[in-house]
Amino acid sequence: MVDITHKIITQRTATAQAIVKVGSSATMKAILNNTVPKGNVLEVSRTAGLFAVKNTSNSIPDCHPMPIEFTGIEFKLQEDSVLIEVTVKAIYRTGVEVEAMHGASIVALTMYDMLKPIDKQVEISTIKLLHKKGGKSDFGVKEKMDLSVAVMVCSDSVASGKKEDRAGKVITEKIKNLGLSVSSYTVIPDEVSDIQETINKFCDSNKDLVIITGGTGLSNRDVTPEAVIPLLDRRIPGIEEAIRAYGQERTPYAMLSRSVIGFKGNTLIMALPGSAAGASESMDAVFPSILHLFKILNGFNHGK
């Protein structure tokens, strides 16, 4: 199966449709009057659909087992057809559109099986996804953004040339994957004065986003939070909590990280862990959703 461990957990919703066409009005009357020999067509097929949604991963090889939290099945009876709509909801890392389509398919197949003894012209027509919602595609920023981004690597060993930078490169690559570019990249030692001086330079040059990697742990040389916090006008605890919560699902050591996020003027400062894994996971935890902050700065109104 595809690896989805890096994805964020959000509410996922999908609605799929299937159409069963009948050959005569007598078939529709039999459905409505509950006189089909095999039983109540709508209720039996609804039950089959509920089982199908929950067991999708047992039928479709690449589908992940899902904590399905709602399945709704509706029928719209027309003159010569039955429209089936299946809505599925879950709070998980991947979407539920296949679950919804699988459910709609099995509802339609069950109806076909129950109706074929009395209607040789019954057929299954369109099976399609009507709409879906959830995940980064819905909680990110869809339009292209023009942001000035700087990456700072705070590390004595990297600054002295004893160690190769990996975390900064990971961050840079993820920024590029978001359709943005890194206009400034610098490596400095773990010194409060150097960190503050570099941040001030970036803010004075109107950087929109400054991402710092390193120095957020608890060793004697980890001083990035001490350097960053006094410079911030507004901290954003929710983003800090989201990063740690995401990391905690992967390693218990994430609780030892002291990531700091906040604004200095209109520049967003993000101090992330110094390991490549920690930096990568922190980026996955909050991007692209965090870019919504820049829409807010530009006057976006949630109420409109």
Residue type, position 32, single letter? L
In the set 113, 156, 194, 284, the catalytic residue is 113
Counting every residue written for the chain, the total comes to: 304
In 142-191 the beta strands, taken as DSSP E runs, fall at 149-154, 182-188
Alpha carbon distance 214, 219 (integer Å):
11
Side-chain-facing half-sphere of 200: CA atoms under 13 Å: 9
Query: For the chain, how many helices (H) and strands (E)?
Result: 12, 10
In this structure, the number of other CB atoms found within 10 A of the CB of residue 12 comes to: 23
Q: Name the 3-class secondary structure at 29.
A: helix
Q: Strand 209-213 to strand 149-154: parallel, antiparallel, or no bridges (unpaired)?
A: parallel
Alpha carbon distance 4, 7 (integer Å):
6
Q: Is 62 a catalytic residue?
A: no
Torsion, Cα of 288, 293, 296, 302 (10° steps): 60
Q: Please give the positions annotated as active site.
A: 113
